[in-house]
Amino acid sequence: MSNDSLLQAAACIRAGGVLAYPTEAVWGLGCDPANEQAIARILELKDRPWHKGLVVVAASLEQLQPWLLPLADDDLAQVMATWPGPVSWVLPCRPDVPRLLRGEHESLAVRVTAHPLVRALCEQVGPLVSTSANPAGQEPARSLQDVQHYFKDSLDYILPGELGGRAQPSEIRTLSGQRLR
């Protein structure tokens, strides 16, 4: 990873752009989760219904706390036992979290990533939207060529890097023990 690439990715996010980046198993699309215009653009690029909600990825729990309601100690321990890592948790969120981000839910899917490039980017800019880089109904992008095929010139930046070596995208869990993916 070049420092120049990371700086360009950070500048893209700060400017309200949408970028593609490698995650643990597939390429992701990301933007600033507080920028509703950028979120709407991701939903349009993916042809994804807004009501489903999106995942927010961060470098630490502290970065996610402004988005979430406080958790009971037992729930927090359950979540922290899987982070950093490839498990996203659906957690109760603050009422001011944008509806485009949380969908029709009173919760938000969040993850503290172990992917070094994504962590480094989140350390620069804060949390990111993290959704698979593919149009709805298509296979997730597993290569830079897949990203370019799906999105041509519609992205503001593509952060070069390697996938994290996992076979499946992150698992999504709820505090009640349900596994959504």
| Residue at 116 is within a domain | yes
| Residue at 33 is within a domain | yes
Q: Which stretches of the chain drop beneath a pLDDT of 50? A: none
CA distance 25 to 35: 25
- Please write the tens of the pLDDT for every residue from 78-100: 999 999 999 999 999 999 999 99
- Please write the tens of the pLDDT for every residue from 63-81: 999 999 999 999 999 999 9
CA distance 20 to 9: 9
Q: Residue 10 is part of which domain span?
A: 3-174
Question: Of 178, 171, 172, 174, whose CA–CA distance to 71 is shortest?
Answer: 174
The structural domain count of the chain equals 1
- 3 state SS of 116: helix
pLDDT of residue 3: 86
What number of CA atoms fall less than 13 Å from residue 174's CA on the CB side? 9
pLDDT of residue 25: 92
| Residue at 87 is within a domain | yes
pLDDT of residue 1: 53
CATH number of the structural domain spanning residue 71? 3.90.870.10
CA distance 83 to 110: 11
Q: Calculate the CA 140 to chain-centre distance.
A: 14
pLDDT of residue 181: 61
CA distance 63 to 15: 20
| Residue at 128 is within a domain | yes
- 3 state SS of 163: coil
Within 10 angstroms of residue 108's Cβ, the number of other Cβ atoms is: 26
Instruction: Quote the pTM value.
Output: 0.95
Question: Of 109, 130, 156, whose CA–CA distance to 22 is shortest?
Answer: 130
Q: Which two tokens stand for residue 172?
A: 């999504």
